[in-house]
Structure 1
Amino acid sequence: MEIHYKSRPWNFKKLLYKAMVMLVCGAVFAFTVVAVFYMLRRPLRKAMGIDDDNRIVFQVAGTEAGEESGETATVREASTVENAEASSDYYEAGVKANRFLVGVNEVSTEGYGGKRSYSDYGYGIIIGKTKKTVVVLSTPNAVRGMNATQVTFFNGQTVRGNVSATDTETGISIIRVELKRLDKDTLRGLEVAKLGKSYALKRGNYAAAIGNPLGDVRSIVVGQFTSVGGKTRLTDREYSLLETNILGKRHTAGFLVDKSSTVIGVITHREDEDGENYTIKALGISDLSVLTDALCNGKERPFIGLQISTISTETARAYEIPKGVYVEYVYLRSPAVEAGIQKGDILVSIGKREIRSAKYFAETLDQLKPGTTVKVQFMRYTKGKYKRMSADVVIAKR
């Protein structure tokens, strides 16, 4: 007996329904993945020092304290470490820092065909990346007015870099190197430096000087801070001056790092030092953060035109003077001199904010836009006593 099977007809409506459900589920899943990626994209890129808008985002790390951070720590004589076998943790930190340390050599081109002149060797650290460039912060006076540099990376590759901004007072510059100039080995190995909290340092803390502290290319010397309370005063702000017992050369260039390879200071030159050798000093990296951000991202820098210092509570009590910010010098052709502020005045407020220190003064000034008018209150010694006065100051641009 022959059996015939009757084929079941296709239910096209049901198949279409299932297809639509699968399509909708796939679309929802894809949308969710894209949304999550978009939300995480910027934090991830910022963590790597990259920003889509070409704005440089700095990596900031904590500064270790530990058993070395006390004010009463014993300061030992600095030791020169010549190889990794004899190294301390700080020497190893200096070695690791080579990934973000670069050599900087000036190049000046004149006329067609390019006459070139080269300067003494300087250094820089990689502080960020954009889609197209690596961004380098140089040591003071590494480029000295030049418009181009030769930048040498950790593996010896040397390429041209362009100087995008320079601060004439501190001498630090921002250099940009196009990523397309770098080979795969350099791109794979370079790192972005983490910037530490130099204000947390204590006398007796250790540091490694990297750059050329011995006069040799990429040498490393380990030592301790002998003072962290010094100040160097420039226009409208104070910078912390970190002093070490590390003996360097007169024209030493480089940076100070802690045992996590975090940058905590920029080695600076002192023209008043006598002799070929001197103990290394550095500007605290925390105090340079606002300046570095402005140079990197093209921000306007407000200007009043004062050289100032903080009057501590102890000084105010000892000399029976008001607490605030002492005006040591007023620059000619500045908003301050036009407003009538004089040497010897003690600033007590800007706008509605009380000014307790030079740091408060700088922070308040940085929040003001050039062209705005702000009321500055100050104490002036006249007729045997201090009298509160005020002046309207028009903020200028550097």
Structure 2
Amino acid sequence: MTNNHVIDGAKKVTVSLSDGRNLDAKIIGADPRTDLAVLQISDTKNLTAVKLGDSSKIEVGESVVAIGNPGGTEFARSVTTGVISATNRTLDIQGEASFNLIQTDAAINPGNSGGPLVDYQGQVIGINSAKYAESGFEGMGFAIPISDATPTIQQLITSGVAKHPALLVSTDDQYNLYAQSNNKPLGAYISEVTQNGPAAKAGIVKGDVITKINNVQVQNSSDLIHELYKYNVGGKITITYIRDGQTKEVQATLGEISSNQ
């Protein structure tokens, strides 16, 4: 398993092994909505499978190891150490926005993406995915929790496609610039509604601004995705939204969207 952004657009994928072998890999499935992908190599002899841990049980302060290839092959299979700094971070990045991310001060650099974050029992607890790279900030790397990633990974292995709950709407966060300038509530501005989709059936229309899902605050499109992914296809949710300055509530039954849509 790896990140989707590592292999996105690749015409050929090669997996480099620690014993010096370079093997062609087949992309079994990829899901931009969770930034996850699964690769397959034909020759697995002399390879030991990793053990997956339970990322729901990790605690702030625990020691971890990040493994990856910062800068590419020149620094391949580098190991850095650190601790878990937080377990509930969110980033406004496609894919990573779907999860409560693990934050770590173990060095994570370009080339580490898709590599494992491992605890001191040797179990994989996360998939290294992003680094906070703004000037003045150091030691802020982020990993997708392995327990949250596993259901999507299993779908990709089984069918090559991952399916997620959805309202089948398009959103536009440019609205929030207007909202901030005019002292209006932030939210997920609905720019398009799929005909006969879950949102349309619930009465949501273009121009509505979703501010809560099941009473949890939604301030932008990433928040909306993050909240929806907590539920299952077919689940019922309560949507709080603003229309023409008035706050309204409606129930909706979640539909389905797949990684190949």
Is the contact made by 1:306 and 1:328 (CA closer than 8 Å) also made in structure 2? no
- How big is the shift at 1:252? 3.1
Q: CA deviation at 1:247?
A: 3.1
Aligned residues of 1:236 and 1:304 also touching (Cα < 8 A): no
- 1:290/1:232 CA distance change after superposition, 3 Å: farther
Q: Which residue of 2 aligns with 1:227?
A: 86
- When Rg is computed on C-alpha atoms for both structures, the one with the higher figure is 1
| 1:325-349: CA deviation from partner (whole Å, max 9, x where unpaired) | x963547454455344343342339
Match of 2:125 in 1: 264
Percent identity over the alignment?
Answer: 20
Distance 1:244 1:329, change over 3 A: farther
Residue 157 of structure 1: which of 3, 21, 24 is its match? 21
**Pair 1:197 & 2:83 matched:** no
Structure (1/2) with the larger helix percentage: 1
Distance 2:18 2:209 in 1: 48
Deviation (angstroms), 1:235: 7.4
Paired residues of 2:169 and 2:192 also in contact (CA < 8 A): no
Q: Is the 8 A contact 1:223 1:244 kept in 2?
A: yes
Compared CA separation, residues 271 and 360, structure 1 to 2 (3 A): closer
1:252 match? 112
Matches within 5 A, 1:116-131: none
Q: Against the structure 1 CA distance between its residues 143 and 205, is the aligned structure 2 distance closer, same or farther, given a 3 Å change threshold?
A: same
Aligned twin of 1:290: 151
1:243 matched residue in structure 2: 103
Shift of 1:190: 1.0
Q: In structure 2, how many angstroms separate the alpha carbons of the residues matched to 1:336 and 1:223?
A: 44
Helix, strand or coil at the partner of 2:84: strand
- Report the alpha carbon displacement of residue 275 of structure 1 after superposing the two structures with TM: 8.4
Supply the AA of the counterpart residue of 1:174. V
Unaligned runs of 5+ residues in structure 2 are 172-185, 216-223
Deviating more after overlay: 234-243 vs 287-296: 234-243
| RMSD value, Cα | 3.8
Aligned partners of 2:4 and 2:30 also within 8 Å = no
Q: Following TM superposition, by how much is the alpha carbon of 1:212 offset from its aligned partner in structure 2, in angstroms?
A: 2.6
Residues 362 and 248 of structure 1: CA distance in aligned 2, closer, same or farther (over 3 Å): closer
Task: Please name the residue that 1:304 is paired with.
Answer: 167
**Which residue of the partner structure matches residue 177 of structure 2?**
none
Aligned equivalent of 1:209, options 56, 66, 79: 66
Q: What CA distance in whole angstroms lies between the structure 2 residues aligned with 1:242 and 1:236?
A: 11
Structure 1: give runs of 5+ residues left out of the alignment: 1-136, 309-325, 350-356, 369-373
| Structure 2 counterpart of 1:338, from 194, 200, 222 | 200
Change over 3 Å in CA distance of 1:359–1:222 after alignment to 2: same
Shift of 1:165: 1.4
* Length-normalised TM-score, structure 2: 0.68
Q: Give the deviation of 1:378 after TM superposition.
A: 2.7
Deviations 1:134-162 (A, max 9, x none): xxx12342222224311122312222111
Question: Are the structure 2 counterparts of residues 379 and 280 from structure 1 closer, same or farther at C-alpha, using a change threshold of 3 Å?
Answer: closer
Q: Quick check: 2:107–2:141 contact (8 Å CA) kept in 1?
A: yes
- Is residue 209–residue 255 contact of structure 1 (8 Å, CA) maintained in 2? yes
How far did residue 263 of structure 1 move?
0.7
Amino acid at match of 2:124: V
Which position in structure 2 is the counterpart of 1:175?
A: 39
Aligned residues: 225
| Residue matched to 2:229 | 362
User: Which residue identity lines up with residue 362 of structure 1 in the other structure?
Assistant: Y
Quick one: structure 1 residues 229 and 238, their matched pair in 2 at CA, closer, same or farther if it must change by over 3 Å? same
**Alignment TM-score, normalising by the size of structure 1:** 0.47
